[in-house]
Amino acid sequence: MKVIVDTCVWSLALRRQTINENDPYIFELRELIKEVRAQMLGPIRQEILSGIPSQPQFDKLKNYLSAFPDLDLGMEVYEAAARYFNISRSKGIQGSNTDFLICAVSNIHKMPILTIDNDFTRFQKYISFELHRPRM
């Protein structure tokens, strides 16, 4: 089963000056990549590549990420994401459009999410999707 890897996990592994080799999320990302189970979404790719200070760094990261094709998202995903946004907001829970899009993909395509973002735990009180926990 594929696992949606959230921006924060990719950033932890790819955009930090020093990488903690013992971090369970970095370990899990590496394992998912080896198993060809790491799923990329277009909005996550955009977030990862946004804010890169130099063109050579941007090109290097873009080239690396090109090994991970985006899942095609249909109208159903966007409508579900909007519904999740509305549900959460009505309960006083804030989140980004991208976060709710990730939740919608997870629910519709039955793919768990690997993330260190605690907002997803709050979303789970009102939205059905699965989180993926590191094995380490």
The pLDDT tens digits for 100-135 are: 999 999 999 999 999 999 999 999 999 999 999 999
Q: Are residues 8 and 57 in the same domain?
A: yes
What confidence score (pLDDT) does residue 17 get? 66
Q: Are residues 28 and 60 in the same domain?
A: yes
Q: Are residues 15 and 54 in the same domain?
A: yes
How far apart, in whole angstroms, are the C-alpha atoms of residue 128 and residue 22?
A: 31
Q: Are residues 60 and 109 in the same domain?
A: no
The answer to whether residue 133 sits within a structural domain is no
How far apart, in whole angstroms, are the C-alpha atoms of residue 105 and residue 4?
A: 9
Instruction: State the total domains in the chain.
Output: 2
Which domain-ending residue is among 25, 47, 65? 65
The answer to whether residue 136 sits within a structural domain is no
The answer to whether residue 131 sits within a structural domain is no
Evaluate whether 61 touches 48 at the Cβ level (below 8 Å): yes
The answer to whether residue 129 sits within a structural domain is no
Sign of the dihedral through C-alpha 94, 3, 62, 56: positive
pTM score of the predicted model:
0.94
Name the residue with tokens 């200070």: 53
The answer to whether residue 17 sits within a structural domain is yes
Give the percent of the chain with pLDDT over 90. Answer: 91
Q: Are residues 19 and 59 in the same domain?
A: yes
Residue numbers of the domain that contains 93: 75-123
Evaluate whether 136 touches 28 at the Cβ level (below 8 Å): yes
The answer to whether residue 50 sits within a structural domain is yes
